Structure 1
């Protein structure tokens, strides 16, 4: 514990001109007398710690003392700092701040950051990610209510293994005790998440990847062809930016989108219907029929309007 504190103290002193003994004592939850002893240890080890007198005095590292910037080779350190800062904000992980401070000591000076990362968390319950992260690291059972793709509500107990951020959403993967198998859950569909105090042990032979693979379901990918009007181009490209596109002289566009089981993909129906009259499904014909049925059902809700 003392060695870890000393290492962290070195990086803090490298990243700040002056830090008082009281500030360091509060940061590391020790007495000021302990800080004085730690400073003596650092000086004895060869680190050029100097003392600043006065009301705003404290300790710092001698000007000109730099760490070897070749430690990270040609990596863009500022980009790493940006990504870690985003994770630190999302997960409220103070330990990440220590890593950021170590990276700052080897970051190029006066360089404008070239990357900005914002992990959207509005679709999850407050503190859900933090509780899941704790459950993963401390191997605690997580309990929550879940709405599945069939709109069924169940209560699940899972042994969380890892978190994913993909398709603009957070997912957690783990062993579901309710289903006695590995499952992936979308955080936006989770409610009343609760971190229990029940421990679990990892299963022997647990899978290293999520159960579903696009390679395994490749033979069930079907092309969905839509024609997008000029006023819906941007929205369609936001939703299907990797689709094959063909632009037409009238300003419209045809998109060909490979979709896994499109006649069962309710997420796809929602997106296509959200375009309103701005897009028309050309293929498959069966999907046109499904969307027409959805629209008719919606119109019935507003018959009295």
Structure 2
């Protein structure tokens, strides 16, 4: 009970300029002598409680120790709590939970208007926790990584940060094999081992650009940039909208959707053709001819794989 009373008193003092010993004694149904001992315990814990003398005197917490409430409104607090709760669910972060309780105690925020789940159901949550711990402790990681070419290569990396984007987690790290910073997509990381080797932080390079970013803007003067026009049936429209975020769109009277992409021609085999084929007969390349030919060639190769020997 005493610990609960001390925690409650701290938040009471944070929320008020000055509180008298008698008011605190009445609220917690204890004697003023007990309040004096509680104040001493709070001060011993490192929280700067100030005593004010006079008729309107009492106790308060040093202003420099408080957070200015004008900096955060209820909307801000709800947004922070939502993000922290999602992080806490994934990483089992007790400090995040403590922060949530503090914010909710100091700021009387309203009912949350949104919820955020950035992967708490994923099977590699344990991997995320291992990576976060390695980043914090600056420990070298060893793992096998499956490249975009399908190669499995052992890597030794110095982890820098975890990045969540486009519905996937990425590890940004210095790769000792490549002697540079690289991004590694978590589902492609195999046989992860957190070594006991410590590393010294390097001067971080900018994060590499994501090759799957469909929203990248190209100028008309960029070399090898082509306009790719795609048409999706109404049955595939929702998935196309999910995937091609930020692309130019046109909705047709027959219920189909046309999308215009500006892409480097070198991007086609890397990501665009596999994605288009995943739509089956619900996607059609309207142009240019070289993209249509590339799709036909890929389909022909797939058919050859199923020919009877």
Both structures adopt the same fold (TM-score exceeding 0.5): yes
Q: How does 1:279-290 map to 2 (within 5 A)?
A: 279-290=283-294
Give the superposition deviation at 1:212. 3.0
1:128 counterpart = 2:132: no
- 1:197 is matched with 196
Q: Is the 8 A contact 2:91 2:125 kept in 1?
A: no
- 1:117 is matched with 116
CA distance in 2, matches of 1:43, 1:158: 45
Q: How does 1:98-113 map to 2 (within 5 A)?
A: 98-108=98-108, 111-113=110-112
CA distance in 1, matches of 2:9, 2:99: 11
- 2:93 is matched with 93
For 1:116-142, what per-residue CA distance to the aligned partner results, in whole angstroms no more than 9, with x for missing partners? 111126666341111111111111001
- 1:249 is matched with 253
Q: Is the 8 A contact 1:163 1:171 kept in 2?
A: yes
CA distance in 2, matches of 1:186, 1:210: 13
Unaligned runs of 5+ in 2: 13-36, 51-65
CA distance in 1, matches of 2:143, 2:256: 45
Give the superposition deviation at 1:181. 1.3
Going from structure 1 to structure 2, the CA distance change for 1:255 and 1:12 (only over 3 Å counts) comes to farther
For 1:22-54, what per-residue CA distance to the aligned partner results, in whole angstroms no more than 9, with x for missing partners? xxxxxxxxxxxxxxx98860288769xxxxxxx
Q: How does 1:153-232 map to 2 (within 5 A)?
A: 153-203=152-202, 205-207=203-205, 209-212=206-209, 219=222, 221-232=225-236
Q: Is the 8 A contact 1:81 1:100 kept in 2?
A: yes
Going from structure 1 to structure 2, the CA distance change for 1:38 and 1:89 (only over 3 Å counts) comes to farther
Q: Is the 8 A contact 2:142 2:155 kept in 1?
A: yes
Using the size of structure 2 for normalisation, the TM-score is 0.72
Q: Is the 8 A contact 2:86 2:120 kept in 1?
A: no
Q: Is the 8 A contact 1:145 1:155 kept in 2?
A: yes
- 1:25 is matched with none
Going from structure 1 to structure 2, the CA distance change for 1:200 and 1:280 (only over 3 Å counts) comes to same
Give the superposition deviation at 1:216. 10
Aligned length: 256
For 1:122-177, what per-residue CA distance to the aligned partner results, in whole angstroms no more than 9, with x for missing partners? 66634111111111111100111100111111010100111111111111111101
CA distance in 2, matches of 1:237, 1:42: 56
Going from structure 1 to structure 2, the CA distance change for 1:249 and 1:292 (only over 3 Å counts) comes to same
Secondary structure at the aligned position of 2:284 is classed as strand
RMSD between superposed Cα atoms in Å: 3.3
- 2:240 is matched with 236
Give the superposition deviation at 1:265. 4.4
For 1:56-105, what per-residue CA distance to the aligned partner results, in whole angstroms no more than 9, with x for missing partners? xxxxxxxxxxx988264335211211110001111121111111111111
Larger radius of gyration: 2
CA distance in 1, matches of 2:82, 2:229: 39
Q: Is the 8 A contact 2:138 2:198 kept in 1?
A: yes
CA distance in 2, matches of 1:12, 1:97: 20
Secondary structure at the aligned position of 1:76 is classed as helix
Secondary structure at the aligned position of 1:77 is classed as helix
Going from structure 1 to structure 2, the CA distance change for 1:113 and 1:158 (only over 3 Å counts) comes to same
Unaligned runs of 5+ in 1: 1-5, 16-36, 48-66
CA distance in 1, matches of 2:122, 2:226: 29
Secondary structure at the aligned position of 1:88 is classed as helix
Going from structure 1 to structure 2, the CA distance change for 1:275 and 1:296 (only over 3 Å counts) comes to same
Q: Is the 8 A contact 1:77 1:106 kept in 2?
A: no
Going from structure 1 to structure 2, the CA distance change for 1:178 and 1:302 (only over 3 Å counts) comes to same
CA distance in 2, matches of 1:295, 1:122: 35
Secondary structure at the aligned position of 2:272 is classed as helix
Q: Is the 8 A contact 1:262 1:287 kept in 2?
A: no
